[in-house]
Amino acid sequence: MTAALETNGLGKRYGRRWALHDCTLSIPTGKVVGLVGPNGAGKTTLLHLAVGLMAPTSGTILVLGAGPGEGPAQLARVGFVAQDTPTYAGLSIAKHLRMGAWLNPSWDGDLAKRRIEQLGLDPRQKTGSLSGGQRAQVALTLAIAKRPELLLLDEPVAALDPLARREFLQSLMEVVAEHGVTIVLSSHLVADLERVSDFLVVLVTSHVQLAGDVGALLASHYRLSGLRRDPSGLPANQQVIEESHTDKQSTLLVRSDGPILDPAWTVKPVTLDDLVLAYMGQARDTEHDPQQGLNVIR
């Protein structure tokens, strides 16, 4: 099955700085993919490369099996909602829908109209006078109504208040349930992604730190606590991601292929939040020690 997004050693450099470096990913279709990382980690760069707004400096990227932005047919298969959901402030919602109809051969005008009605928006209103949440919903409508196979969203809820944020995610999930679109959603807040993602990519300082199915990730990471000891004694199939020690106690976050059988440990499951934070912390340490690197879990 063709991957929704496939990159190999992908990199993008601006002058001396690598905004994205050595990114190798394979994102399957049919999932809601959370792309998480701090600001400046390269999330926007990755998404812009995927929609063809930029060309890579190194490596390759394939979107739904073809080059990004290559020709109208490829552009029609991918929908995009950019950060801050740009719209033409002087044009009304209705005119934006007309733009969608004119510029997209696969435009579903009924779907667009229905969504705008359901959202309770007046089509004659200029998008410049809408609230942030309303504009985000309009941008989502525009991206959805062209019936893409893949929908990419760059921090669509970052600037929204909690209610608008919840309504946006509700809308988005309804769209997935109804149309089966693959979604890649970036955010610097894990909480947003925890509810909706079933595939996670952690991007820190322009590198992919972690990528995998959420269920598999949560099933293969554990929090171990017990009497203080040296973690290098752990079995080979267990890898320490994060560790902290007091004078009496050790707490570790480990990745393990199999169950933890050592009875000296108290074993607890890990939340997605803890997992992402642990890998982000590891990334910070990796900056000083490049031996550690990509962790990929299928």
Partner 1 sequence: MIRFAALQFRTQSAVALGALAVTAVVLGLTGPHIVHLYDTTVATCGADGDCSSATATFLSSYRLLQDLGNVVIVLRAIIGIFWGAPLVAHELETGTHRLVWTQSVTRTRWIAVKLGLVGLASMAVAGLFSLMMTWWSSPFDRVSMNQFPVFSERGIVPIGYAAFAFALGVAVGVIIRRTLPAMATALVGFVVARVAVTIWVRPNLEAPVHLTSALHMTSGMGFNQTNNGPISVVGGHAGDWVFSDRIVDGAGHAVGGNFLDQGACLQSRGSAACTGRLREVLVYQPASRYWAFQSYEMAIFLGLAVICGAFCVWWMRRRIS
Partner 2 sequence: MIEFQLDTASGVATYLQLVQQVHQALQLGLLEPGDQLPTAQQVVGKLAINPNTVLKAYRDLEREGLVQPRPGMGTFVIRSLPGTDPATLNRFLATLTDWLGSARAAGLGPDDIEAIYRTAIRNYFAEGVA
For partner 2, give the closer residue by CB, 113 or 179: 179
What does the angle CA 34 – CA 190 – CA 138 come to, to the nearest 5 degrees?
A: 60
Dihedral sign of CA atoms 148, 142, 88, 167 in order? negative
Task: Convert residues 122-161 into a mask of x (bound to partner 1 by CB under 8 A) and - (unbound).
Answer: -----------------x--x---x---------------
Rounded CA Rg of the chain: 21
Distance from the Cα of residue 83 to its chain's centroid: 13
CA torsion, ordered 275, 279, 281, 283, to nearest 10 deg: -170
List the beta bridge partners of residue 250: 226, 245
Residues 209-238 interacting with partner 2 (rule: CB under 8 A): 222
For partner 1, give the closer residue by CB, 55 or 296: 55
Task: Convert residues 29-58 into a mask of x (bound to partner 2 by CB under 8 A) and - (unbound).
Answer: --xx--------------------------
Task: Convert residues 165-204 into a mask of x (bound to partner 2 by CB under 8 A) and - (unbound).
Answer: -x--xxxxxx-xxx---------------xxxxx------
Question: In the numeric block, which tokens belong to residue 287?
Answer: 């900056």
Distance from the Cα of residue 72 to its chain's centroid: 25
Candidates 75, 164, 172, 280: give the one binding partner 1 (CB under 8 A). Answer: 75
Q: Is residue 79 a contact point for partner 1 (CB under 8 A)? A: yes
List the beta bridge partners of residue 62: 6
Candidates 248, 261, 264, 289: give the one binding partner 2 (CB under 8 A). Answer: 261
In terms of residues, how long is the chain?
298
Residues 90-129 interacting with partner 1 (rule: CB under 8 A): 91, 95, 98-100, 102-106
* Spatial separation of the C-alpha atoms in residues 207 and 154, rounded to whole Å: 17
Question: Which one of partner 2, partner 1, none is in contact with 279 (Cβ closer than 5 to 8 A by kind)?
Answer: none
What does the angle CA 55 – CA 193 – CA 211 come to, to the nearest 5 degrees?
A: 55
**Residue 223: partners with Cβ closer than 8 Å, 6 or more residues away:** 251, 252, 253, 267, 268, 269, 270, 274
The tokens 């199939």 sit on which residue? Answer: 237
* Spatial separation of the C-alpha atoms in residues 68 and 65, rounded to whole Å: 9
Candidates 260, 277, 294, 297: give the one binding partner 2 (CB under 8 A). Answer: 260
> Smallest distance from the beta carbon of 34 to partner 2, in angstroms?
10
* Chain positions contacting partner 1, by CB under 8 A: 48, 51-55, 69, 71-73, 75-76, 78-80, 82, 84, 86-89, 91, 95, 98-100, 102-106, 139, 142, 146
Q: List contacts with partner 2 (CB under 8 A).
A: 31-32, 166, 169-174, 176-178, 194-198, 222, 259-261, 267-269, 271
